[in-house]
Structure 1
Amino acid sequence: MKTRFTELVGVEHPIVQGGMQWVGRAELVAAVANAGALGLITALTQPTPEDLTKEIARCRDMTDKPFGVNLTILPAIKPPPYAEYRQAIIEAGIKIVETAGNKPQEHVTEFKKHGIKIIHKCTSVRHGLSAERMGVDALSIDGFECAGHPGEDDTPGLILIPAAADKIKIPMIASGGFGDGRGLVAALALGAEGINMGTRFMCTKESPIHQLVKERIVANDERETELIFRTMRNTSRVARNTISTKVVAMEKEGAKFEDVRELVAGARGKMVYATGDADEGIWSAGQVQGLIHDIPTCAELVSRIMREAEAIIQSRLEGMMSGAQRQAAE
């Protein structure tokens, strides 16, 4: 299945494994790449730029297929050395980068000098248009269903994707709520050139998180997420657990970030994936949990999605069209 996106990044299937903090490591990324999709190492999961260089090399030892790196730019009191991470990406010879977060112009400009294809992840049409003007090569448009930061507009993918497709000229992949062939066909119909999946790839055999967390995702349904930081206008969708429920309750009582800082610390979220204790800290998961029923290999997942998509297009949709034509002829 060729789309403008597969042609742009040189992969076989229009499926992307999005950058995920603590999850986008070499073993997962290489497995996704070997399955014919696009895998992304999460730069800031690595403690230093030097560690990122090593992680890229480790991934290359496991695959000769294209893969990229995610660089997320977020406001912080003490921001990480973004320029050093960017230089590590360039020096490693990476040719595909996903940017996300605030105003990536500086990074876009530098990456473009080195012939790197840039996918920018955003949650609104206006931000997509801004990124297009900055010179990015593709967009990942992220609907309200997604894990992580869905923005503040609360626009679900069924509206956001075609609204973006109406105005944006560069290739676009759809993010948020995708996990099977039905979603891929829907995304293509809405004007996207592929899909981006985070939570679904978390729940694969090669995903470097604890088996108990994967089993929790399978057991959860589409209602098992929580929106935290709503009152701070920094909304984040996370898996529902005792801590997320407590944070939401504290926000309703007027809590500020300082009041919940210890509960939402990234180190605690990292421990969830390490220990399998789903109530240890905050961890990201999307509403697509309701569509996840097993823990396949990445190769099994990608091939199944493509088989399902082709069957829907060839059998169901074409069958409907030919049936309508027969009725018209009669």
Structure 2
Amino acid sequence: MFETQFTKDFNVEYPIMQGGMMWISKKELVSAVSNAGGLGILSALSFETPELLANEIEQTKKLTTRPFGVNLTFLPTLKPVNYDAYIDAIVQSGVKIVETAGRNPADYIEKLKNNNVKIIHKCTSIRHAIKAQNIGCDYVSIDGFECAGHPGEDDVTSLILIPRAKDELNIPIIASGGFGDARGFVAALSLGACAVNMGTRFMMTKEAPVHENIKQALLNAKETDTVLVERSLKNTLRAFKNKHALKVLELENNKATLEELAPYLSGLNGKKMLEEGSIDNALLACGQVIGLINDIPTTTEVIVNIINQAKQIIEQQARLI
């Protein structure tokens, strides 16, 4: 059911991909998504060293025999990252699917291609998607303005970006940003995508390594409970509207420098929050789709419900013809 280019290329049952979320996309969640028939994605930079990533890949293999990939994000950081070493760890582990995001991954394409790795590049604009195609990426994950994390600076929604990407590109497209149920899944396929990528929806599952306090706070949230921060740095982030995010926004409105903002932007704050459950102590990437999430099911329940309900939606809509 719902066989697409995505299911064929990545040998998965369903055209559903789990987002690479910092501190969250670890073996527990990734293996659960892959076992449920989707494509699980580890977040490489959740692990302080390439050796720790390699170990996590091996631990994930013990939990699933099905395909999974690794996300590697090239973003401005206060601490330099040895990306070549991370790629070596991925390649040597035998992983054949890599999702890149952030800056242009051109410097690393050849090494990945030489090791038969399929590359999905996440983009927030058509110009970046065209560039990704031109440098040899196999897929583009087009990320609409609704998304959690970094939506870019153009503020174009998925409803526009997906069909525009379909019109412009010759490589397959994954829809990312604003997807969390069967209605969005069917819409994405109709707009020209061959799969959906979901982060916030999978963050709100039983297997996600997120403190229960955080899950409950998000469960009560609406689509209006996100805020855009880091716009002054040209590194826009959509985050949950908590006290910490509002403080960052206040500092930016008062023309704070990077040095003044840096203590509030540390990723280690987020790691501590997810582990300890203090909802107001860090930035938490969260998409507008949070307004559509009303439960905390298993990953299997998420995927099975989407597929079954999508089939019903398509059958119902066919009766209109």
- TM-score category (smaller protein): over 0.9
How many Å separate the matches in 1 of 2:87 and 2:45? 11
Corresponding position of 1:191? 192
Q: Does 1:117 align with 2:118?
A: yes
How many Å separate the matches in 1 of 2:12 and 2:99? 15
Amino acid aligned to 1:76 = T
Aligned residues: CA RMSD? 0.8
Corresponding position of 2:320? 320
Listed as ranges, the matches of 1:138-149 within 5 Å are: 138-149=139-150
Amino acid aligned to 2:280 = D
Corresponding position of 1:88? 89
Unpaired runs of 5+ residues, structure 1, are 322-330
Amino acid aligned to 1:274 = E
CA separation of 1:77 and 1:212: change in aligned 2, threshold 3 A? closer
Pairwise CA distance, 1:240: 0.6
Which protein shows a greater Rg? 1
How many Å separate the matches in 2 of 1:278 and 1:76? 24
SS at match of 2:63: coil
Corresponding position of 1:126? 127
Pairwise CA distance, 1:293: 0.4
Q: Does 1:158 align with 2:153?
A: no
Q: State the 4+ residue runs in structure 1 displaced beyond 3 angstroms.
A: none
SS at match of 2:20: coil
Q: Does 1:235 align with 2:236?
A: yes
Corresponding position of 1:246? 247
How many Å separate the matches in 1 of 2:101 and 2:109? 11
Corresponding position of 1:71? 72
How many Å separate the matches in 1 of 2:223 and 2:129? 27
SS at match of 1:80: coil
SS at match of 2:295: coil
Q: Does 1:62 align with 2:93?
A: no
CA deviation vs aligned residue, 1:247-294 (integer Å, no higher than 9, x gap): 111211111221121122111111110011110111111101000000
How many Å separate the matches in 2 of 1:233 and 1:113? 34
Corresponding position of 1:303? 304
SS at match of 1:261: helix
Corresponding position of 1:326? none
SS at match of 2:265: coil
How many Å separate the matches in 1 of 2:103 and 2:286? 22
Amino acid aligned to 2:205 = T
Q: Does 1:103 align with 2:104?
A: yes
SS at match of 2:264: coil
How many Å separate the matches in 1 of 2:292 and 2:83? 35
Report the TM-score when normalising by structure 2. Answer: 0.98
Amino acid aligned to 2:233 = M
Corresponding position of 1:325? none
Corresponding position of 1:217? 218
Pairwise CA distance, 1:212: 1.2
SS at match of 2:305: helix
How many Å separate the matches in 2 of 1:69 and 1:104? 14
Corresponding position of 2:25? 24
Q: Does 1:174 align with 2:175?
A: yes
Amino acid aligned to 2:23 = W
Pairwise CA distance, 1:78: 3.2
Report the TM-score when normalising by structure 1. Answer: 0.95
Q: Does 1:4 align with 2:5?
A: yes
How many Å separate the matches in 1 of 2:86 and 2:308? 38
SS at match of 1:139: strand
How many Å separate the matches in 2 of 1:250 and 1:45? 27
Pairwise CA distance, 1:109: 1.3
How many Å separate the matches in 2 of 1:265 and 1:70? 20
SS at match of 2:296: coil
How many Å separate the matches in 1 of 2:136 and 2:12? 22
How many Å separate the matches in 2 of 1:99 and 1:26? 19
SS at match of 1:65: coil
Pairwise CA distance, 1:106: 1.7
Amino acid aligned to 1:17 = Q
SS at match of 1:174: strand
SS at match of 2:156: coil
Q: Percent identity?
A: 49
How many Å separate the matches in 2 of 1:32 and 1:176? 18
Pairwise CA distance, 1:217: 1.3
Pairwise CA distance, 1:108: 1.5
SS at match of 2:141: strand
How many Å separate the matches in 1 of 2:21 and 2:196? 15
How many Å separate the matches in 2 of 1:98 and 1:256? 31
Pairwise CA distance, 1:76: 2.9
Pairwise CA distance, 1:77: 4.3
CA deviation vs aligned residue, 1:166-222 (integer Å, no higher than 9, x gap): 111111110001000000000011111110000100000000111111111111000
Pairwise CA distance, 1:75: 2.3
Corresponding position of 2:289? 288
